[in-house]
Amino acid sequence: MQLDSHRLIVRSRFKGDTLQSHVVQPQAALVDKFERRFSYLRLSITEKCNFRCTYCLPDGSECHSHDGELSLIEIKRLVNAFAALGTKKIRITGGEPSLRRDLCDIISLCKSTPGIETVGLTTNGFRLEKDVVKWRAAGLDVLNVSVDSLNSSAFQMITGSEKLASILRGLDIAQSLEFKSLKINTVLLRDQNAHELKDFLAFIKTRKITLRFIELMRTGDNQQFFNQQHVSGESIQQSLLASGWAERLRSLQAGPAKEFIHPDYQGSLGLIMPYSKHFCHDCNRLRVSSKGQLFLCLFADKHNPLREHLQSDNIQPAIAFLQQSIVQKNSGHNLAEQVTGSTRHLAMIGG
Q: What is the pTM of this model?
A: 0.86
Q: Please say if the pLDDT value at position 79 is more than 90.
A: yes
CB 62 within 8 A of CB 284: no
Domain segments of the chain: what residues? 2-18+31-185+281-348
Classify domain 2-18+31-185+281-348 by CATH number: 3.20.20.70
pLDDT at 179: 98
d(CA 28, CA 24) in angstroms, rounded, equals 12
Q: What is the mean pLDDT of the chain?
A: 86
Tell me the per-residue pLDDT of 115-161, one tens digit each, with 9 for 90 and over: 999 999 999 999 999 999 999 999 999 999 999 999 999 999 999 99
Q: Considering all CA atoms of the chain, what is the largest pairwise distance in Å, rounded to the nearest integer?
A: 61
Tell me the per-residue pLDDT of 288-335, one tens digit each, with 9 for 90 and over: 999 999 999 886 777 899 999 999 999 999 999 999 999 988 876 655
Cβ neighbourhood burial of 299 (10 Å; 0-12, 13-18, 19+): buried
Q: Please say if the pLDDT value at position 5 is more than 60.
A: no
pLDDT at 282: 78
Average of per-residue pLDDT across 43-52: 95
Return the SS3 of 308. Answer: helix
Radius of gyration of the chain (CA): 20
Burial 180-210 (b: 16+ CB within 10 A, else e): eebbbbbbbbeebbeebbeebbebbeebebb
Whether the upstream peptide bond of residue 350 has omega within 30° of 0, thus cis, is: no
Average of per-residue pLDDT across 71-96: 97
